Amino acid sequence: MQSGLAKTKNWILEYIVEKTGVNPLMGWESSSNTLSEIKLEFSSKENAIKYAKKNKINYEILEPKNKKIIKRSYADNFTK
């Protein structure tokens, strides 16, 4: 299985909501705070930080991990 790299260049700002609960009717996790549903995408890390500072939002940066690509041919599956 292969994972594509589409939509991996943007930086995402998500609100973290502490108070979640279980919906008594359906049993799903829910929250009365609608900020938990918002995801903002930015083209660069600097733009995301600028937006967070301008709107007085506490933020935490999670840097992406570098992927190590191992090139293999289809025949390698059968030669071992």
For the stretch 13-59, pLDDT in tens is 888 877 777 888 888 877 777 887 889 999 999 999 999 999 998 88
Report in angstroms the alpha-carbon separations of 37 from 1, 5, 15.
30, 24, 8
Q: Which of these ranges, 12-16, 49-53, 61-65, 67-71, has the smallest mean pLDDT? A: 67-71
Q: Using CA atoms of 34, 36, 39, 40 in order, give the dihedral in degrees to the nearest 10.
A: 70
Would you place residue 2 in the very low, low, confident or very high pLDDT band (cuts 50, 70, 90)?
low
For the segment 57-66, the average pLDDT, to the nearest whole number, is 87
What pLDDT is attached to residue 52? 93
**What residues does each domain of the chain span?**
11-77
Burial call 28-43: b when 16+ CB within 10 Å, e when fewer: eeeeeeeebeeeeebe
Would you place residue 3 in the very low, low, confident or very high pLDDT band (cuts 50, 70, 90)?
low
Q: Does 5 have pLDDT greater than 80?
A: no
